[in-house]
Amino acid sequence: MTVSKKLPLAMTVLGLGAMAASAEIKINDNLSTSGFVDMSLSGAKAENVDGTLNGELDQYELDFMYKFGFFSARADLNGGPGAGGGNSTVFIEQAFITSALTNSLSLSFGKFLSCTGFEAAEPTGLFQFSYSKNMDKTSPTGAIYGGYQNGINLNFSTPTFGVYVSAVSDVWNGSETEYAKTPGGEVQVSVMPVDGITIKGAFAYQMYDADADTLFSDDGQGLANIWAQYAKGAITVAGEFNYLLSWASPSAKNDATGMGWLLMANYKFTDKFAGTVRYSATTLDDKNPATRDLGSEVTVSPSLAISPNWLALAEAKIEFGNVKQTDYALETTYSF
C-alpha cells in the first residue's frame, strides 16, 4: 500500500506513469540498502479562494535489508512531511524480521505495512502524485487502508495463489502497542490465474476498548477490501471496492457503514512517456451531511522517465462532494 514526492523540478513535465526503478546497493554479502528522495511543487484552487503553490522536500527514505540463511530483516528510516515525520524528524517507518519456514511459507514479526489496499504507501509505487479518496488521511474517517502495524504475520505464497494472516495491536494506528484490550488482525487471499492478472481480497478488523470514552467506543471497526489488476505490455488497469463496517466518524462513532471505489488506467506510450487516469470516491452511511459524502475525484497525470531511477510527473485533480477544488502538482522522485 501506499506517500508524497519531489526533486529538482527544472523542467516542464508531462508523461511518466511507470514507477521509479530501485536497485539495492550491496554493502556486503548479507547487508544491502536502497531508498528514494521525493520532492514536489503542489497547490490547490477552490471557488472564490486564492490558489496556493508550495514547494518542498516531501519525503526521503533509506532502507536496510539483512539476509542470513533462512532469516532476513528489514528496517526503513523515513523523514519529511509526506512521511508524517515533519521536516527534520527521522523515524523508523517499519522494522521486521522474517523467517523462511519453507519455500512457500514465511513468518514475520515486528512493525510492517498492512496488506489492504491497491495503492502503494510510497511514492515509488504510485502512478500519480496524490492518493485516492481511499487513502485520504484528511477526510473525517481518515485513510481507509490499514497502516503500519505492530504484530506478527504468516504468509503462504506461490506463483498463482497466496494467503496472508496477521495479528496486530492496531490495524490503523501504528503507535498502538496494547494487545490485550484492543487486538486486531487481517486476512488476505491472492489469486494470479494467468500472466498479468492479480486479484486480492482482504478483511481487516480492529477491536476497541468498550470501556474507553473515545470516538472508538464501540466494539470494533472492519474493512473488506478487494481489488484486481491487469498489467501486461504497455497497459495497466485496476479496479477496487471497499466496504466499511462499523466505521467511525465525528457524528456516528462506530455505527456507520460506507463504501469506497477506485478505477485506474495507465498507458506507456513509449519507454519514457506514460499517462494515468484515476477515479475514486468514498461515501459513509451517516446522518450528518458533512460526513455522509466524503467526496470523489478525477485525476489526470502524465509522466516522464528521465532515467531508470529518476521519474517526474505532472498532475491535475478535480475534487467533488463536500470539498470542491482543483489540485495540481509537479513531482520528481529519485530512487536508488
pTM of the entire predicted model: 0.86
Determine contact, residues 264/237, Cβ cutoff 8 Å. yes
CATH classification number, 25-48+55-335, choose in 2.40.30.10, 3.30.230.10, 3.30.450.20, 2.40.160.10: 2.40.160.10
Q: Domain residue spans in the chain? A: 25-48+55-335
pLDDT tens track of the chain, all 336 residues?
433 333 333 222 223 344 556 667 888 889 999 999 999 999 999 888 888 899 988 999 999 999 999 999 999 999 887 666 555 688 999 999 999 999 999 999 999 999 999 999 999 999 999 999 988 776 666 789 999 999 999 999 999 999 999 999 999 988 888 888 889 999 999 999 999 999 999 999 999 876 555 554 457 889 999 999 999 999 999 999 999 998 865 555 557 788 999 999 999 999 999 999 999 999 888 666 555 667 899 999 999 999 999 999 999 999 987 778 999 999 999 999
